[in-house]
Amino acid sequence: MEKIVVVTGANSGIGLALCDRLLSEDGRLRLCLACRNMKRAEAARATLLVSHGSARVDLLHLDVGSAQSVLSAAEELKARYHRVDFLYLNAGIMPNPTVDIRAFFKGLFSRNVINMFATAEGLLTQQDQLNSDSLQEVFATNLFGHFLLIRELEPLLCQPGHTSRLVWTSSSNARRSAFSIQDIQHRRGKEPYSSSKYASDMLSMALNKHKNQQGLFSSVICPGLVMTNLTYGILPSFFWTLIMPVIRGTESLDPRAKYHSLTSGLGTNYTEPRRMDLDDEMTEVFFSKLLELEKEVRRNLSKKTADSEHYQQYLNEIQ
């Protein structure tokens, strides 16, 4: 039977490489590239078709950072497909990253050096902002938009007698200490990326608890350090070429494991499951906070729609 696979943020980097790999592994699947920029999505589709001429590759407009776009995209998916077998929650951002050079040199001569290169602990901060739904942009893009998408797609993902799988592109930068259950959007801190990735680890576990009985399974992967637009936003490409030989040697892909992609000092690639630092109680509280926030965002969206309809009506009346 044809498998339907949806990948968010599929037009570049890890998402595009993943699509290429999926098509190489299974020529019968039907792939849907869910992207915010349709020109880039077209280009990605064309690239995939060069090496997989007979592949079925659909495009879908989806801005995971906008609740309205997520709802529209989910409607479109429900109209197009009867079921989704795999949903890869891959789109992600790290806006305005800053590397703490002092911390880097301090870390270089400490016992923590390997961990520092593998996880960027203490090295990276970002500047976040509010999006059009008044949510923190990193939280909205990396986590909440995906959560809303899953909620909307439940009819396609949770079907009797059928198993579907969610796969989150998480990160070794996901850290419990960057996340606060009192501030799930990370409004106050300087590590929104790390917080959002820890939140996705927790959400994956909560979804397993709540949805496994309905045939929906979730897992998280960690691709290691990959040269993509995201990493070129941290340091320019020539810099990476210089430091990559150093980083390579230390690089870091059951519901409680994160699948780390690793490279040995000799350059051999392998994957290793590692247990995540998760707290069952906090995960449950987080899940209920997300459900509350979902209600609030839906209320705000309905209000916005009603307001613009009233305004349109008023304009019609005065004309």
Ligand X SMILES: CC(C)=CCC[C@@H](C)[C@H]1CC[C@H]2C3=C(CC[C@]12C)[C@@]1(C)CCC(=O)C[C@@H]1CC3
Query: Which sign does the torsion angle of CA 114, 116, 117, 118 carry?
Result: positive
- Which member of 81, 193, 232, 270 is catalytic? 193
Give yes or no for residue 136 binding ligand NDP (CB under 6 A).
no
**Measured between alpha carbons, how far is 245 from 76 in angstroms, rounded to an integer?**
45
Residue 94 vs 157, nearer CB to ligand NDP: 94
Is residue 232 flagged as an active site residue?
Answer: no
Give yes or no for residue 73 binding ligand NDP (CB under 6 A).
no
Give yes or no for residue 93 binding ligand NDP (CB under 6 A).
yes
Which pair of structure tokens corresponds to residue 4?
């339907």
Which residues of this protein are in contact with ligand X, per CB under 6 A? 99, 101, 104, 117, 119-120, 123-124, 171-173, 225, 231, 234-235, 243
Residue nearest to ligand X (CB): 171
Taking CB within 5 to 8 Å according to partner kind, which of ligand NDP, ligand X, none is near residue 64?
ligand NDP
Compute the least distance from the CB of residue 147 to ligand NDP, in Å: 14
Taking CB within 5 to 8 Å according to partner kind, which of ligand X, ligand NDP, none is near residue 129?
none
- Please select the residue that binds ligand NDP; options are 6, 14, 55, 157, rule is CB under 6 A: 14
- Please select the residue that binds ligand NDP; options are 226, 243, 244, 291, rule is CB under 6 A: 226
Give yes or no for residue 274 binding ligand NDP (CB under 6 A).
no
- Please select the residue that binds ligand NDP; options are 19, 90, 138, 184, rule is CB under 6 A: 90
Binding residues vs ligand NDP (CB under 6 A):
8-9, 11-15, 35-37, 40, 62-65, 90-93, 141, 169, 171, 223, 225-226, 228-231
